[in-house]
Structure 1
Amino acid sequence: MRFTITTLIENSKGEHLGLLNEHGLSFLIETTNRTMLFDTGKSDGYLHNAVQLGKDLSNIDTVVISHGHYDHTGGFTSLVDHITSNFKLYIHKNALQKKYSFDGTHYKYLGNSFNNTYLADNKIETHFIHEDILEIDKGIYIVSNFERVTPFEKADPRFCVEKSKHKHVLDGFEDEMILAIDTPDGLVVVLGCSHPGVINMLHTIMKRTGKSIHTIIGGTHLVHADDERIRQTIESFKKLDIQRFGISHCTGENAMHQIKEAFGDKYFHNTTGTVLFF
């Protein structure tokens, strides 16, 4: 199967200076049978970029939301306003929870700008994912409900969800999902933010598919990681024998620098406008 992955928007500008960039993430994945959007950034900037890149989003048939944070879902309502074609939305059953960060004194809302009522009112065919792994097309998998096996990948204590009015609990990111595409060389894994821990997620994917991982692209949420966690992550990457790293977004400059130092040409800074051909 031949396919391309285009980074419609990401934190960093690339060589195409006519593109917008923002703290957000959105990928366009074009396969033989499907035109898929993985995340929608934090605004409608990815729609502007699609035009600049000559990409027609009117034929989108599949939208996958990695998790319920604004920088991955904020542009979703603009997509609904923009296109008239019917598409299937795949989102975890927990992704519509109200999500916040907490700095010890103040809560800041980080969640979606839409809810179940919005999806119903707009007649969006929504598949609320609860499965551990779901093959949505031949060789294309959504994986969720990740096993937690690494002792060094701890939950970020500042993230929380609202369980009831005025009651918040630690966000374990049970809603996080990834997309994995099978190739002769191994899986290409598309990440949102990897809040459950990128190594936890990759181990889970390999266990459930029985396949090796060739490429990872997206966010690894190492932005606040200390050097020891980054070191252990890099050692785990080496054991997994990953051949290409297109990671950025919430990875953080320190982690990206250390990964580049460890893997050389296997690493590239995945910026807005990057296109990968498989």
Structure 2
Amino acid sequence: MSATSIAEPVQAQQQSLRYFGWLSFQLARRDIEVRYRGTSLGWLWAFLAPLLMLGVYTLAFKYIFKVRWPGAGDSPIDFALHLFAGLLIFQAMAECWGRSSRLIIEQPHLVKKVVFPLALLPWAPVVNALFHAGISMLLLLTVAAFWGVQPQWQWLLLPLLLLPMALLFWGVCLLLASLGVFMRDLPQVVTLIIGLLQFLSPVFYPVSALPPLVQTIIGWNPLTVWIEQVRSWVFGGHQPSLLMWGQSLLVSLLMALLGYALYRRVRAGFADVI
């Protein structure tokens, strides 16, 4: 076999990967642009929405329910920052997975009329969610530094959390999108699960405030690792745990493989159902 005959499949694969990457980027860009198209404030909503959400939750938990954050000061800003660190992770998940079960159903022309890699569809909500999570992280660091939290070199590593999040979000999105073709009640089930996860994740409380048994149970939630890492890196000044990050990356990769395996198994039946 000649070197040319070996190189041709490799070049074709590289071109396919570049095309899939370009197509995923275009889908994600369109998804973000559509979100603010026609609005009066436009891209300002990317900053205003998390700030308004933060204000409402702070008012409810700090002043109405009189909740105190263990280890933080009595200032409402201290409470708000710790709360925001959990909310930005949870909201990224909720926004991404909340849309996932109808991704393929809402694109029947891509299923029946054209040859399209449907596995790329989840990248649009995933990138959209992570884009807004990145803006929220920037807001968190800006307000924290302005309020007096000493900047740490660990802050520069926060974008690394987006890699395992992207893999997990994409894998679950693809899994839910595939099942959503055959299970039309799935959107209601996903909405219910997201509502439960809001209180089964350490958004409104630190894991250290829970009993040991509950800490173990909550620890199985992948959001717990990312929320706790954001808080420890921003407010605690703790050294990043490469082992913990690697474990979350491995779990996310396994979930991505599981979602893709299910998609490949059932995709032949999409056209018949839709």
**Aligning the two structures, in what range does the TM-score lie when normalised by the shorter sequence?**
under 0.3
Which gives a bigger RCO, structure 1 or 2 (Cα 8 Å, sep 6+)? Answer: 2
TM-score by length of 1: 0.25
TM-score by length of 2: 0.25
| Higher fraction of strand | 1
| Higher fraction of helix | 2
> Based on CA coordinates, which of the two structures has the bigger radius of gyration?
2
